[in-house]
Structure 1
Amino acid sequence: MDQQLSDLLQRKAEVELRETELRRKQSLEQFREWLKKHPYLKRTRQDDNYLSLYLRTKKYNLNEVFKSYEKQFLFRLKCAKWFDLSDDNVVARLRSHIECGSKYIIKDYSSTEPIIYIQRFEKFDAEKYPVTDIFQSDFSLFGACLELEKAQICGFRLITDFTNVPMSVFTSVTISEVLDWARALISCPGRYKQNILINIPSIAMTFYNIVSTMLPEKLRKRLVMVKNYEELKNFMDVSILPKEFGGNCDENVYIEETLRIFDEKLEMIRKSNDYEIDVSQFSGRLHNDDVGSFRKLEID
């Protein structure tokens, strides 16, 4: 767990998530009791911080929490290579995407505002790396951030910058891979407060129009498209952004902080992917999206 929640974060959790210390304690007990009785999930990560992530994402609606917890395993099975960080060479490659500024976060500009997650496709070397690295690094970096209680409570504001994006980013990926990425991302826990797309090209709009059909209405309403950095000022205070976005801050400072968090939380991300389930029973449900069947297991 992070250190003691600040008064401001505690208040935000209480107001937005209906979280109290007593409710959290009781819900964690019920969560573990449900897991103990689950017929397919034999061994999964069950520390307070990890289970609290699911409770907070679903605002302590236990039926939805259990459904969400099951569902993410469906896509951990189907897209296992995107979650696997057991190979140090893969980790080094994913770190390089942060180091070059392809993606990073802005965390400490406010005590209670969402963490800003920036992705700049211009910085991604699609000639050197497989485009699916974009997907794997997303799951890895989101996973690291979601170890932070601030991210669990305040959520994320996503900023995706398509300015000068190499065409190979789109031509080297299949529709099937994009759909798997979208389904897996939706199934993962986390609170996504706003999604800002900058200078999105027509080919990317084609992908988005396909993906948007599976997005919950709530997420579609939180999407903002702007043509340039100047228009971005209409939706947020850009002074906290790097100078490249018209802000006042040094991008390298944010990159270094993101690398620190990624390195610090790496072992916990790996623990999330260390599980034992009855694959013969569970994997068959990948094709019919039959999730949540066991969320109503009797809890004493």
Structure 2
Amino acid sequence: MSNKISKDDNRSLQSLELFRNWLAKHSFLKYTGNDNIDDLLMFFLRVKKFSMQKAYDSFEFTIRFIKSHPDWYLNPGPADYDYTHKPNSPLTFLKNVDSKGRRVAIYRMKNVDNFDHVEFFRRMFMTPLLFYFDIDAQINGVVLVVDFSEASMGKMRKVPVQLVYDAFQFSKYDVMRLQQINVIGMPSFFMPIYELAKKLTSSKIIQRFNFINDKKELSKHMDVSGLPIEYGGKADELLDFAAFESGIEILNKIHKFNVNLSKIHEHENVGSFRKLEID
């Protein structure tokens, strides 16, 4: 992944300068590293289409969320990548973009083992973030396929409400450029969780949901050519580790931020974060 900025791209250069100045004066976020963080700032600028206030809000939310959940985000590495490359992995990132240049990820809910183990939360929040840092995901966005077909009712009933809240907070702040969510065979007992989720995120994101009954209907909503055969595609190539390594470099820069908890009280933002224990 390349995040180099063209000297001719005046909008990028001007936006980066504004972002650096805003961060230098920030009341509770301070960067403690010595390395260049332009690639990190550019991620938020691209995802927010260079809307500065939206980029600031998303940046604050992401730093605070990651720092408040250290077990989910510390020491990313090959083991997190390997999880997505096992046969029938619950979470799979495809190598090829679709016809619109968007990255595609598949969640197979039937293969999820444990909804409350720390490794599950790492896979739900940290591993996808490495995927979202990919340049194609930043520019063209992400398409999710959430496959509930053959999901165990017993397992799905154990989904924590906090997990739903956290996931849709990410959607609300558009930490990724989420273009489409195609849900296959969502069971009726999961509907109350979805109704709760609708209250926690923006109507813009909700409008990007497509609910379908069968995998065969997926082609009506997206380009399936790059998907595995079971979803009507012709390929089963998965994103290689190089993209994850670039994401790991960016995530490790986030870990070098300090969050001053005492000053958060002075900042007008979502009240729930004022209760978080942040180092």
Per the TM superposition, whether the score is higher than 0.5 is yes
2:86 is aligned with what amino acid? Answer: E
Gaps of 5+ in 2: 275-279
Say how many residue pairs are matched.
269
For residues 189 and 69 of structure 2, what CA distance do their matches in structure 1 show? 24
- Is the contact between residue 195 and residue 224 of structure 1 (CA under 8 Å) also seen in structure 2? yes
Alignment of 1:132-151 (within 5 A): 133-151=119-137
Return the offset for 1:177. Answer: 3.1
> Counterpart of 2:232?
246
Return the offset for 1:77. Answer: 4.2
> Counterpart of 1:288?
271
1:49 equivalent to 2:49? Answer no
Distance change (3 Å), C-alpha of 1:289 and 1:224: same
Helix, strand or coil: the match of 1:104?
Answer: strand
> Counterpart of 1:114?
102
1:92 is aligned with what amino acid? Answer: A
> Counterpart of 1:29?
17
1:143 is aligned with what amino acid? Answer: L
Helix, strand or coil: the match of 1:67?
Answer: helix
Distance change (3 Å), C-alpha of 1:145 and 1:241: same
> Counterpart of 2:258?
276
- Is the contact between residue 84 and residue 91 of structure 2 (CA under 8 Å) also seen in structure 1? yes
- Is the contact between residue 53 and residue 189 of structure 1 (CA under 8 Å) also seen in structure 2? no
TM-score, normalised by the number of residues in structure 1: 0.77
Aligned-CA RMSD value: 3.0
1:70 to 19, 43, 60: 60
Helix, strand or coil: the match of 2:271?
Answer: coil
Deviations for 1:163-186, whole angstroms, at most 9, x for unmatched residues? 111234323332133213322443
Return the offset for 1:190. Answer: 1.8
- Is the contact between residue 163 and residue 199 of structure 1 (CA under 8 Å) also seen in structure 2? yes
Return the offset for 1:4. Answer: 6.7
Distance change (3 Å), C-alpha of 1:29 and 1:263: closer
1:81 equivalent to 2:64? Answer no
For residues 62 and 3 of structure 2, what CA distance do their matches in structure 1 show? 27
1:123 to 101, 111, 119: 111
Return the offset for 1:242. Answer: 0.5
> Counterpart of 1:160?
146
Return the offset for 1:32. Answer: 0.4
2:79 to 60, 67, 92: 92
Gaps of 5+ in 1: 11-19, 292-300
Return the offset for 1:80. Answer: 3.8
Helix, strand or coil: the match of 2:107?
Answer: strand
Deviations for 1:263-283, whole angstroms, at most 9, x for unmatched residues? 453343232233112122227
Return the offset for 1:132. Answer: 5.5
For residues 167 and 267 of structure 1, what CA distance do their matches in structure 2 show? 38
Return the offset for 1:248. Answer: 1.7
101-110 or 240-249, larger mean C-alpha shift: 101-110
- Is the contact between residue 142 and residue 179 of structure 2 (CA under 8 Å) also seen in structure 1? yes
- Is the contact between residue 43 and residue 277 of structure 1 (CA under 8 Å) also seen in structure 2? no
Return the offset for 1:113. Answer: 2.0
Distance change (3 Å), C-alpha of 1:181 and 1:81: farther
> Counterpart of 2:195?
209
> Counterpart of 2:167?
181
For residues 117 and 151 of structure 2, what CA distance do their matches in structure 1 show? 12
Identity of aligned residues (%): 26
Q: Which has the higher helix share?
A: 1
> Counterpart of 1:40?
28
2:247 is aligned with what amino acid? Answer: K
For residues 55 and 280 of structure 1, what CA distance do their matches in structure 2 show? 28
For residues 117 and 72 of structure 1, what CA distance do their matches in structure 2 show? 20
TM-score, normalised by the number of residues in structure 2: 0.83
Return the offset for 1:94. Answer: 6.7
1:268 is aligned with what amino acid? Answer: I
For residues 230 and 85 of structure 2, what CA distance do their matches in structure 1 show? 16
1:226 is aligned with what amino acid? Answer: I
> Counterpart of 1:17?
none
